[in-house]
Structure 1
Amino acid sequence: MNAKKQNFLLFNKMWRKKVESFVEGADVVSCDVFDTLIHRKVRKPIDVFRIVSEQILKEEKYLDEVEVVFSFPSLRVYAENKAREHVFAQYGHHEVSLDEIYVNFQKITNCTDSLRNYLSEKEIFVENSITYANPIMLEIVKKALRDGKKIVLCSDMYSSSTEISDRVINAGYPAGLPVIVSCENGCSKHDGFLFDILKKNFSTDEKIVHIGDNIHADINMAQENEIDCLHFTYKDEIDEIFFSHFSKEENDFANCLSHGFARFILISDPEKAHDIWYQSGVTVFGPLFLGYFFWLLDNLQKGEFSKILFLARDGYFFNKMFAKWSTSLGVNIPSEYIYVSRGTLLYPSLSDLNWDRLWFQFGGRRNKTLNGICKKLGIPLYLYLEEAERSGISDINESIESGDARIHKFFVLVGKNLLKDAQNKRKISREYLENYISEGEKIALCDIGWAGNIQGSISRIMRSGGISVDLEGFYFGIFPWSQMNNGLRDVFHGYLVNGSSVQNLNEVLLNGGVELLEFATTAPHGTTLSYTEKNNQIFPVLEQSDDDKRVQTLSASIQEGAWDFVSSMMDLLITMDKKIFLSRSWAEAFINFVQQPTLEEARTFGIVTHSDAPGATLERSHLVSTPASETPEDVEKAKEKSFWKYAFQKLYELQDL
């Protein structure tokens, strides 16, 4: 299975060869329609009815019959079942047309003729708009026609032959293909009699073969009618191999749509889908980013914000989304993208030795040297060699574990000088921020989140200049220890975890989720290292690191997949009320990806490097550490150093974290 996932093109090539070989000696190729020739961009047919209902509710039409519109998905299914019961009682078969279904629908609901007709027309319209061709079968059909073979469509469906023909033509198939459909013949493939009709349309000298996805209707019954058949399990295999992280919950509308549209993207562009980074963008991060975006917009509409600031560099992708879709989704506030980082703001914001905040400057999982720590902070260590000796650090290049008490002692000894230096650096940071933040504004911030360090730093820096501003941050997650950054005019919100109120995903995020998200949201530019003044303007100084550029390249592939996913869905989603998409279920594929990676995912993503501490992208560690040996001690040590412990567990077959 993993080999197939790594080779999407090989998977397609295998299926193309299988179908080509199957039809080679045939004179007539009979094809099932749905999930063989064409697919829907949804998980299951009832999702079509939900789309119809939500679109009409958004249009605010038929307000006098809103209960019928609201309940349409279940009523539509019930009406179809009742129509089949009625036809069976009268004619001894279950095959019904769409018109017959809606006649029963009107009897059940007592709706007006106008609503009945509008629902029927809307259903057909939605079906056509979300239908696409299977690219393998499209090639097979076109080649078969060129080779002089006859193609016939054979479907168990309530749609008329004309409607089915229109649908496949709209998906790209040639016009004029004959259609044999159950609702027009009073029998089906399921009962076997539709194959009798198929055979009667051709001479006994012509070899007929059939291709379809349903094991009973397309395979068992074709065999009973002595027709060679091929079980076309392409879509089911796609779901099994590439969508293992998706929830199987069928009542979750967001999940059903995201599954269907993600499948559409992979099937429609196998060249791109061959790239595992792109795949993950489509199937894992795209749904997560879209769910967060809807949550962000909903919160922006609730508040009266002067503007929203997207913070580099994790806010890059969402700044693009906001620029493209915010207006069409009803949010109209100014936005700007600003270059900040914990490395450039947290240290200048220090007005006291708050160790929780300061730790973020030199903490991490890798060993460090005092010399390296001071260089990153801009501290002239040569002035404090005596304090280093007094702290027990005689060699400033000694490799020291994170949390070593000697580092704490050193900073206590140089604390006054540290605060003075922070004050000196604060001025240029504040001048940069003043380009975007003014007195009395209420500003929304978009960033990835976690401890609220950047928001807290911005707030403290602005207050140091006498500027009061209300900052409200909207993040993927806020951990309980964000309280260290609480201010009177600061508010923090988390989509996945929210301080002390929503914590059930803390373990997922703290054991790889944070680092994977930061990797996936990396902008195509370096982190902000500092600020410089030129011609009375303040400009950010961005890091230029070859290793970081490699990370940016991989992240760009993920974001391309995520962008394609969001773009493919947005035209449909804007036709419905976005409040129905306010759900954390968009994150389920990501959560499962973190907790239950495949072996291939653990290997591939595990070698990605991540900055060992905030603002230290030059110091990077792999998400999964490699044990020095196979001894239990070395394995345990490597596990503790690994950011992504679930992947480590997968690779080294550990039973628990």
Structure 2
Amino acid sequence: MLDIAEAKRLIDSAEIVSFDVFDTLIRRKVDSPLAIFHLMKAEVHDLTEGAISDFRSIRVQSEKNALEKARQNGVEEVTFDDIYRAIQELTGIDDSIISKLQELEIETELKCVDIRFVGYDLFQYAKMLKKKIVLASDMYLPRNAILSLLERAGVGGFSVFYLSNELMKTKREGDLFVHILMDLQIEPSQIVHIGDNPKGDIASPRALSIAAFHLPRSMVSFRQSSEFAKTLDLAGRKSWSLTKSVIDAMIADRFFDDCGKSDMDSFFASDPFQFGYTALGPMMLGFSFWLYREAKADGVSRLYFLSRDGEIMKRVFDELFPFEDFGIETDYLYCSRRMTRVPMMKNRFDLLQPIAKAIHARTLGNWLESNYGIEADKIDKELFERHGFVGADESINNKVDREALTALVLEIENILLDIASDERGSLLRYLSQKGLGTGKHAVVDIGYAGTMQDSLSSLLGQKLKGYYLAVFGTAAGVKDQLDLKGFVSQYGADDNPSLGICTHRFVYESLICNSEDTVLRVAVHGDGFVPVGKSHGVDEQRKYFVDYAHSGAVALAKEYKNSSPIRPEVSILSSEVSTLTFDTYLRYPMAKDVELLYGIAFEDLYGVVKERYLAAEPGIRKHLEPSQIIWKESLKVKQPVSKPTAKGAESTAKSALAKKNFSGAAESFLQAFELLPSRPNYLRAAAEAYFAAGNRKMALEKLSEYQRLNPKNTRVKARKWVMRFPVLAKIIGGQEFSLQ
């Protein structure tokens, strides 16, 4: 666990502060240094006219060859020129091209460099204390290139820069630190070193009695932050890509750079925004990259994102591919199964179709309203009774008397067709105002069978394309199957156990759907149209969650567009990688992460009457039927045993103080110190609590222990005298330390 307070304490006590450079003060916008060589691949291929097709492999091998050659001469470091001479030996490329390749590598490093804030904050802290700051780096790049990288990141104000490839001494061997001590003419106790490498930055200086503080790379912290993260890392290794490298680095730097925030019981830190950024975000980015390529190749001029699942898709797409730069217009279209189903009813045959389908448990009135748009309270109760029904509130299911139901529908046939005609007219005017079907247009939605696309095409008499997160084999009934394309699935089985959208479809729908109410139809309002919706009574928890989660996904898209070294139009994230975090979460959730979805209800206009939830906390779960919990994996997770924390012990101590239980407070302060030994103030508080309890011996013992850790605190000596001889308080004051 990263303890910044400990780092600052080390800086406080040192005269000179030494910082590593790469992954400490500055970072790369990719998950590893090797990704830099991947980024160069295409340009290297062009510069060498195809002589180097796999630059990463040649670059890595050449550095190894150069280091082996150096070791034969008793040297443990290589220069940038040494590496490129080794490349020349392997490929026979002439000097002019080698120089261009060196320039390209430095340009690529500059394009990928950024500040590492956690390291930079410590750097600024040392500057504020007017400490002498030196830099020490094991690096092959020349001095001028590294200085340019530091300048680009905004790092300046150091005294000396010790560079391994100039001195031919390294941190990992320890001789660079020996050189620093001799050059500065200091003792090991006068300097502290801060860096990320366990050997070169930590083990080596400590072997020389130099204090060192470990600042692990954010990617290392990310991959080791929890069991879930380790599972995710193993699964992701098989599908590495440059785009994945950039996105992983963004996630690591944003949420895992301060390792003190990590929680082995949670990956998402109970934060819907973090969930949206790390799980939903990659899915939406991968889908948008694919959508842009497909729409561009198909010559589509405008994309209509269908409500409500399409809103987050549109927001992410617009961030990555604004119309003014990429030439594809986007619009948000209110549309739902209910909104197209009723207008499509033009005759008796159409009216009878819902009766032939499966009927889930619900009230009769709800079924009529959902399928025909008629409000149940506008139907005379006598009409229900004539056909053997008690009334609109009667519960029905798949065993309902379909003959009686048919007779009921036929008796109000004209009313139902009039409703359908009215809604059809409003819908067509709305679509006309939106311009749908007046050009090469396509609709975008979550999936799965293209029924709304088919309905819109039929209503308009125009051919529309459709792009979906998933298209299943159930789409075989649409008029033109070639007009449907799916990202995760293209006409695959809808029960494919390897796809999360198949195994956890309702969770996908609930978390991708925005916070608007279900749209039933559109109504004329002034010169335009407004959606007429239906509120879902227990949907507030879901709305709260998705608002924050969708903001997280959009934030990832914005950051990718603004800072990624890979342009969005050439970014590729496969469907497997895009959904990896989301699907891994659904299959192997951690206890605290399950809590994110507690109380989120699943809304289904055509579903069952009893409320269903994605997940529910144990106390509520016992009042529900098993069928009311959708996310079955959430039921298998054991609740974590709460671990003691320093903050918790401190809180207990303060409660004891409020009750004047000073001995209990002292014990709790000592427990807090054991849990967080970098906070010696807990010892000081324990001493004061013991003194208040009348235990002078323990008070002096703990204050002496505090004094050994903080020898520069002159007030401690005076306080100890007062504790021994309380009468001195009348002369020099109590000198007591606050218990707060």
TM-score exceeds 0.5: yes
Cα distance, 1:177 vs structure 2: 4.1
- Report the structure number with the largest CA radius of gyration: 2
Question: 1:159 & 1:559 partners in 2: Cα distance?
Answer: 41
Cα distance, 1:575 vs structure 2: 4.0
Deviations 1:91-111 (A, max 9, x none): 222311122212222332233
- Preserved CA contact (<8 Å) 1:612 1:619: no
Q: 1:483 aligns with which of 476, 484, 487?
A: 476
Question: 2:365 & 2:258 partners in 1: Cα distance?
Answer: 50
**Secondary structure of 1:470's partner?**
coil
Q: 1:592 aligns with which of 562, 572, 584?
A: 584
Q: 1:53 aligns with which of 28, 41, 53?
A: 41
Farther-moved stretch of structure 1 (313-322 vs 296-305): 313-322
Q: Give the aligned partner of residue 316 of structure 1.
A: 311
TM-score (norm 1): 0.82
- Preserved CA contact (<8 Å) 1:477 1:497: yes
Q: Tell me whether 1:41 sits opposite 2:29 in the alignment.
A: yes
Question: 2:398 & 2:616 partners in 1: Cα distance?
Answer: 21
Farther-moved stretch of structure 1 (431-440 vs 351-360): 351-360
Q: Tell me whether 1:383 sits opposite 2:370 in the alignment.
A: no
Deviations 1:430-454 (A, max 9, x none): 2322334566854211111123332
Q: 1:522 aligns with which of 508, 514, 528?
A: 514
Question: 1:354 & 1:92 partners in 2: Cα distance?
Answer: 89
Question: 2:182 & 2:352 partners in 1: Cα distance?
Answer: 84
Cα distance, 1:585 vs structure 2: 1.8
Cα distance, 1:288 vs structure 2: 1.0
Q: Give the aligned partner of residue 157 of structure 2.
A: 175
Q: Tell me whether 1:233 sits opposite 2:226 in the alignment.
A: no
Question: 2:539 & 2:494 partners in 1: Cα distance?
Answer: 33
Question: 1:548 & 1:370 partners in 2: Cα distance?
Answer: 23
Deviations 1:372-415 (A, max 9, x none): 33344532546375675577653543555xx5322866643344
Structure 1 residues 189 and 518: alpha-carbon distance in aligned structure 2, compared to 1, 3 A threshold: same
Query: Which residue identity is paired with 1:533?
Result: V
Question: 1:652 & 1:274 partners in 2: Cα distance?
Answer: 15
**Structure 2, unpaired ranges of 5+:** 262-267, 641-740
Question: 1:582 & 1:454 partners in 2: Cα distance?
Answer: 26
Q: 2:254 aligns with which of 246, 260, 265?
A: 265
Question: 1:582 & 1:234 partners in 2: Cα distance?
Answer: 26
Cα distance, 1:292 vs structure 2: 0.4
Cα distance, 1:517 vs structure 2: 4.7
Question: 1:355 & 1:112 partners in 2: Cα distance?
Answer: 79
Deviations 1:450-491 (A, max 9, x none): 2333223323333xxxx2x2222111112333334x124773
Instruction: Give the aligned length.
Output: 617
Q: Tell me whether 1:256 sits opposite 2:256 in the alignment.
A: no
Structure 1 residues 139 and 51: alpha-carbon distance in aligned structure 2, compared to 1, 3 A threshold: same
Q: 2:122 aligns with which of 140, 153, 175?
A: 140
- Preserved CA contact (<8 Å) 1:169 1:175: no
Structure 1 residues 237 and 159: alpha-carbon distance in aligned structure 2, compared to 1, 3 A threshold: same
Question: 1:360 & 1:472 partners in 2: Cα distance?
Answer: 27
Q: Give the aligned partner of residue 373 of structure 1.
A: 367
Q: Tell me whether 1:558 sits opposite 2:556 in the alignment.
A: no
Q: Give the aligned partner of residue 76 of structure 1.
A: 59
Q: 2:603 aligns with which of 590, 607, 611?
A: 611
Query: Which residue identity is paired with 2:11?
Result: V
Structure 1 residues 562 and 327: alpha-carbon distance in aligned structure 2, compared to 1, 3 A threshold: closer
- Preserved CA contact (<8 Å) 1:512 1:646: no
Instruction: Report 1:458-477 matches (<5 A).
Output: 458-462=456-460, 467=461, 469-477=462-470
Cα RMSD (Å) of the superposition? Answer: 3.7
Structure 1 residues 413 and 125: alpha-carbon distance in aligned structure 2, compared to 1, 3 A threshold: farther
Farther-moved stretch of structure 1 (223-232 vs 390-399): 390-399
TM-score (norm 2): 0.74
Cα distance, 1:175 vs structure 2: 3.0
Deviations 1:154-198 (A, max 9, x none): 222112334333323432323334222221122212222112112
Cα distance, 1:573 vs structure 2: 5.5
Q: Give the aligned partner of residue 201 of structure 2.
A: 218
Query: Which residue identity is paired with 1:459?
Result: S
Q: Give the aligned partner of residue 15 of structure 1.
A: 3
Structure 1 residues 414 and 239: alpha-carbon distance in aligned structure 2, compared to 1, 3 A threshold: same
Question: 2:385 & 2:248 partners in 1: Cα distance?
Answer: 60
**Structure 1, unpaired ranges of 5+:** 1-10
Question: 2:65 & 2:237 partners in 1: Cα distance?
Answer: 26
- Preserved CA contact (<8 Å) 2:384 2:408: no
Structure 1 residues 189 and 652: alpha-carbon distance in aligned structure 2, compared to 1, 3 A threshold: closer
Q: Tell me whether 1:276 sits opposite 2:271 in the alignment.
A: yes
Query: Which residue identity is paired with 1:372?
Result: N
Structure 1 residues 412 and 537: alpha-carbon distance in aligned structure 2, compared to 1, 3 A threshold: same
**Secondary structure of 1:201's partner?**
helix
- Preserved CA contact (<8 Å) 2:336 2:520: yes
Structure 1 residues 408 and 17: alpha-carbon distance in aligned structure 2, compared to 1, 3 A threshold: farther
Query: Which residue identity is paired with 1:194?
Result: L
Cα distance, 1:593 vs structure 2: 1.9
Structure 1 residues 590 and 383: alpha-carbon distance in aligned structure 2, compared to 1, 3 A threshold: same
- Preserved CA contact (<8 Å) 2:24 2:196: yes
Q: Give the aligned partner of residue 299 of structure 1.
A: 294
Query: Which residue identity is paired with 1:455?
Result: Q
Query: Higher RCO, 1 or 2 (CA under 8 Å, sep at least 6)?
Result: 1
Deviations 1:491-541 (A, max 9, x none): 322111222379645652244344345424516x44423222245754433
Query: Which residue identity is paired with 1:397?
Result: D
